[in-house]
Amino acid sequence: MPKKKNITKKTTKNPKKPQAVKEELLLQPPRGMRDILPADQVYWQQIRRLSEKAAADFGYRRIDIPLVEFTNIFSRSIGEGTDIIDKEMYSFSTKGGEKVSLRPEFTAGIARSYIQHGMNVSPKPVKLYYSGPCYRYDRPQEGRFREFFQFGCEALGEQDPVLDAQMIQMGWRVIYQLGIRSVRVSVNSIGCPACRKSYRSLLVHYFESKKQKLCIDCKKRLEKNPLRILDCKEDKCVQVRASAPQSIDHLCEECRVHFKELLEYLEELEIPFDLDSNLVRGLDYYTKTVFEFLTVSEGGGDAKKNALGGGGRYDGLVKMLGGESTPAVGFSLGMDRLAVEMKKLGARQYKEPKPRVFLAQLGVFAKKKSLRMFEALERSGIRVAESFGRGSLKSQLKVADRLGVEITLIIGQKEALDETVIVKDMASGNQEIIDAGKVVDEVKRRLKKIGH
């Protein structure tokens, strides 16, 4: 009888699945972005407060637009040959295949909103203001971040140069009130599409003869956007453009009159300004007026100039995006740069309104009563501070003393049960027990007597 073969089943072990490699958790934001901590918020609050007050004083109303727009809103309005479109936009495709971008500036989105919501039928000019973050993949440096914040105003539907002057007046006022005094305004006119066409030809002809001396970027700009060469910061390009034709020498009659009237308004306002024939602002939608706010550090003719913001007229933008022909002008201020400048100068910071009353408590039951009392005092317009937590009465009174409040209200276990409150006058140290239901009226009475 033949021997039975032992048949053993071979078991194939499941190969081990490759374990996912954990990415290192970086406890920091991406390069060019940062947290704005409470210590710096005192500058930012001052910027927000003064800029929004100026906008309201001049009759501008707030508008908020999306952080993300369709990419072609920017590529069509800002211009394909600009650095923003070619190098600096944060663009991506959504899961649905839509091409979108984080906004690099506000004006194009506001023009889109103006068309979409039929603002053309509103009384002119339509005055709007905004503030918020923008994004550009630019080289980070002091005052320049990849996530940066802007405040700005736009006036749509009016072509009178008095609106251009008002924009400069508003920006100047905000900067000056922030305590930044060494500021001048650079102004120029780059004309309208009609007169700019002949000027562009002259410019191209001039730079073609100097092409070998231009930087690599400006050689490309010569074909796509020759006006941008005037804005280049490379030393060799600065030298080449020194003898270039100037746009204000080649304006049509309408643009010449517009610019002349603007300068007369600025003289009337006594705002110090300089004519800068190289100022173009670099975005395709600008027409006629362009301007910048510049800080000038001490040091004479070679003093370093930092741009705090700028703007100009964009009479063709709304039509370019599909709306009807709409003259418009606007400006924006770089809030990051303003904050840096304020800090450097030791400018006045925003001061939170000081609390006048402190609420101290001891024990869980007292804490419950204190929450309701805090609400009642706040609703009555009395600014109250507290130190809810585990602190002893001694430590809480130290906080009250440090804050400089005039009255401290103390609720312990006994007061919570009796529905009473100890009212302590911080100046004299005198204490009095009163009914909890009368505490708001009693505090108001005492504060009124103390004054301020």
Tens of pLDDT along 441-451? Answer: 999 999 988 87
What are 377's two structure tokens?
């005092």
Instruction: Say how far apart CA 318 and CA 125 lie, in whole Å.
Output: 14
Asked if residue 321 lies in contact with residue 206, where contact means CB atoms within 8 angstroms, the answer is no
Asked if residue 151 lies in contact with residue 335, where contact means CB atoms within 8 angstroms, the answer is yes
Q: Which residues contact 20 (CB under 8 A, 6 or more apart)?
A: none
Q: What is the pLDDT of residue 391?
A: 77
Look at residue 167 and tell me whether its pLDDT is greater than 70.
yes
Average pLDDT over residues 189-200: 90
Residue 50: which H helix or E strand, with range? helix 38-57
| Higher per-residue pLDDT: 441 or 19 | 441
Average pLDDT over residues 303-313: 86
Instruction: Say how far apart CA 75 and CA 70 lie, in whole Å.
Output: 9
Average pLDDT over residues 292-300: 76
**1-10, 75-84, 97-106 — most confident range:** 97-106
Return the amino acid letter for 219: K
Query: Residues spanned by CATH 3.30.930.10 within the chain?
Result: 38-192+252-345
Nearest to 46 by CA among 347, 345, 349, 352: 349
- Write the pLDDT tens digit of every residue in 201-250: 888 888 888 888 889 888 888 887 788 888 888 888 888 888 888 999 99
Query: Residues spanned by CATH 3.40.50.800 within the chain?
Result: 357-450
Nearest to 105 by CA among 281, 368, 340, 245: 281
Average pLDDT over residues 114-119: 97
Instruction: Say how far apart CA 174 and CA 339 lie, in whole Å.
Output: 12
Name residue 360's beta-bridge partners: 410
What are 43's two structure tokens?
């500058």
Q: What is the pLDDT of residue 300?
A: 47
* 3-state secondary structure at position 321: coil
Considering the domain delimited by 38-192+252-345, tell me its CATH architecture: 2-Layer Sandwich (3.30)
Q: Which residues contact 76 (CB under 8 A, 6 or more apart)?
A: 320, 321
Average pLDDT over residues 312-332: 95
Distance from the first to the final alpha carbon of the chain: 118
Nearest to 126 by CA among 254, 291, 318: 318
Fold of 357-450: Rossmann fold (3.40.50)
Q: How sure is the predictor about 13, in pLDDT bands with cuts at 50, 70 and 90?
A: low
| Higher per-residue pLDDT: 47 or 234 | 47
Q: What is the pLDDT of residue 109?
A: 96
* 3-state secondary structure at position 443: helix
* 3-state secondary structure at position 305: strand
19: left (phi over 0), alpha (psi -120 to 50) or beta: beta
Side-chain half-sphere exposure of 287, counting CA atoms within 13 A? 23
Return the amino acid letter for 6: N
Q: What is the dihedral of CA 174, 282, 294, 298, to 10 degrees?
A: 160
Backbone angles phi, psi at 334, to 5 degrees: -80, 105
- Write the pLDDT tens digit of every residue in 368-426: 899 999 999 999 999 999 988 767 888 999 999 999 999 999 999 999 999 999 999 99
What are 15's two structure tokens?
């190969």
